[in-house]
Amino acid sequence: MGIIELFLIAAGLSMDAFAVSAGNGLSMKKSDPKAAFAIAFSFGLFQALMPTAGYFLGSAFEEVIREFDHYIALIFLGFIGGKMIYDGIKELRAGKKGAKTEEKTFKLSLGILIIQAVATSIDALIVGVSFAALPDVNIWAAVVIIGITTFVLSLIGVFFGKKFGQLIGSRAVIFGGIILAAIGIKIFVEHIFFGG
């Protein structure tokens, strides 16, 4: 498997991470390079670790992963997205009643970040299993390409989301929550109806 093919796989695996990173960027009150780096690093790390684990666990584990991955993504991303939507609506209502409130109050904790990284990288675990079945895959080159691609695209996603968030103001948290919930639903629907 060549570099171009690995890059295309990496880009495909990174799309959910990019979208969730954009959602996180929307919820940021101000530009925070450290937080942006932490988000991108977490997504890149998990996108690299999951195929490595899949590669060494082998095909016996594939059925177990396929059976539950979409439920995990739906529950985790749906819950976090729902909480962001709830917080955003609460904030808007408080603002209309004249209560003092800071814009974009959703806080991205380390726990939530890890949950997001796991939920968006489960498919990479299955990709790692498929790598084990192919004779011409250098797993170390593959995971480095996947990790770096995800890191770069996630970083772009955060800054894209932050820029867009400045345009829509306090509704950014709600919009970010909708993105996260939509990604969870997308993963679930793909697996249930299309065997993704």
Q: Which residue has the higher pLDDT, 81 or 22?
A: 22
Which is nearest to 165 in space by CA: 33, 40, 25? 25
Domain range for 171 is: 3-194
- Mean of the per-residue pLDDT values for the chain? 81
- List Cβ neighbours of 169 (8 Å cut-off, separation of 6 or more): 103
Q: For the chain, what is the domain count?
A: 1
Q: Say how many residues make up the chain.
A: 196
User: What is the predicted pLDDT for the residue at 62?
Assistant: 64
User: By mean pLDDT, which of 7-11, 27-31, 85-89, 122-126 is the weakest?
Assistant: 27-31
- In this prediction, residue 106 carries a pLDDT of 55
Tell me the average pLDDT across 170-194: 79
pLDDT at 141 over 80: yes
pTM exceeding the 0.75 threshold for the entire prediction: no
